[in-house]
Amino acid sequence: MDVNPSIFKAYDIRGIYPTDLNEDAAYLIGRAFASFLGVEKVIVGRDMRISSPAIFEAVTRGLMDQGADVVNIGMVSTDQYYFACATLGEAGMMVTASHNPKEYSGFKMVRQMPYLLSGDEGIQDLRHLVESEAFATPTRKGTMTELDFQAQFIEKMLSLIDVDLLKDRKLKVIADTGNGMVGPSLQALYERLPIEFAGMYLDPDGNLPNHGLDPLQPENRAELQARVVAEGFDIGFLFDGDGDRFFAVDDRGEFISGDFLTAIMGQYLLEKYPAAKILYDVRASWAVPDLISAKGGTPLMERVGHAFIKQRMALEDAVFAGEVTGHYYFKDFFYADSGLLPSLFLMEMLAKRGIKMSDLLQELEAKYFISGEINSKVADVKGTLEKLATQYPDATIERMDGVSVSYPTWHFNVRGSNTEPLIRLNLESVASPEEMVEKRDEVLGLIRS
């Protein structure tokens, strides 16, 4: 069958429904998944998108026709799906397009937790199988059973913090789940906590009547930021559409960068696990390794992407990892990323230390001046990256992921997008905001010339 090859991406399968990814393609992807992995049981969940019931029906039909039994865990967040895969020790497929606009569909696929299928390991194999339809001959027809993991999932989350600490300081918390998949589990979890809570857009709704699913877009967090200030909340939380990414707003209503959250949470988790290893991605601020080292931990840099991070965490037995785009991974949660868990650790930390989030951040903001991620369209991604590497011959150059260029007071990473003709720049100065702006504009000039 002719299926758009561009839907098979670096970390998952994703495309517009029904032009790029439809029921026929989903059926073949289900057959390919069961055939490639040779599995007898597959856990399948889905998100709230309008297309998800039809895609779910087609992919599970493909799995069962290929001889795999399906465990239907219903409409869930991705971290609840990871929990189900880890608890049962089975492979899984989650029907979701994460934070993409509502017309998208897709799959996040687990081989066995914490190992996911990626472009390097499995996803292109699925593409070849779908195109050739050279599936193994099934010996039986699979069946479907239904299981609900929400209660177990909530208990797991609660077991990872000291809820009694929250009684000492009744935090005032607001959370916006953007009509994505986090609302139901967040409500069930937060009603068990001694906090003052307000929720925004907690009902899953694939029509997305309020705003988009990606909190990195400023328009999708503006309302929450305004409410934090106007109503005096201690902290505000945001989650992406499928709930594997987490974002926070401090008591000033300021959006907190993923670099700073990684550094702050990393330091806090080192209080629980002294001298542990903590991973961060190549784009991150120097604040991350500096704070981890200062607390006696071992900071380890890794490529961008959950498939690489989870694998390295398991290999190193690291307790925590953070990516600047809002993915936070925990050894105590099967080395997987979760949206809910970082919110719990931040509340526990604020209650235990009796401080404001803004106090922690102002120390970092006075020392680390970061550009945030800036995208540029280019005709030749590879050529532009090579050109940048040659422009700075006296710098320290690393090529773990894209090109990283370091000088004593400033550094940057440039990477090509996995899906578009884009170069992504992250730059930082520890000398001054002026140096950050000067060097940012200099590098952007080279990229765009």
Q: Give the active site residues.
A: 98
Q: 7 in helix, strand or coil?
A: helix
Interatomic CA distance for residues 25 and 133, integer angstroms: 11
Q: Which residue has the tokens 């005709």?
A: 379
Distances (CA, A) of 88 to 2, 43, 85, 145, 333: 35, 9, 5, 13, 14
Q: Which run of H or of E encompasses 71?
A: strand 69-75
Whether the upstream peptide bond of residue 184 has omega within 30° of 0, thus cis, is no
Paired with 106 in beta bridges are: 14
Rounded to whole angstroms, how far apart are CA atoms 137 and 34? Answer: 11
CA–CA separation, 34 and 410 (whole Å):
48
State phi, psi for 138 to the nearest 5 degrees: -70, 145
* Secondary structure letter of residue 269 according to DSSP: H
Distance CA 106, CA 95 (A): 6
**Measured distance between the N- and C-terminal CA atoms of the chain, rounded to whole angstroms:** 42
Q: How far lies 127's CA from each of 46, 98, 115, 124, in Å?
A: 21, 20, 19, 5
Strand 172-176 and strand 235-239: the pairing is parallel
CA angle 321, 326, 329 (to 5 degrees): 30
Return the structure tokens found at 66. Answer: 């290929």
Tokens representing 60 are 């599970």
* Nearest in space to 257 (alpha carbons), one of 413, 375, 427, 398: 427
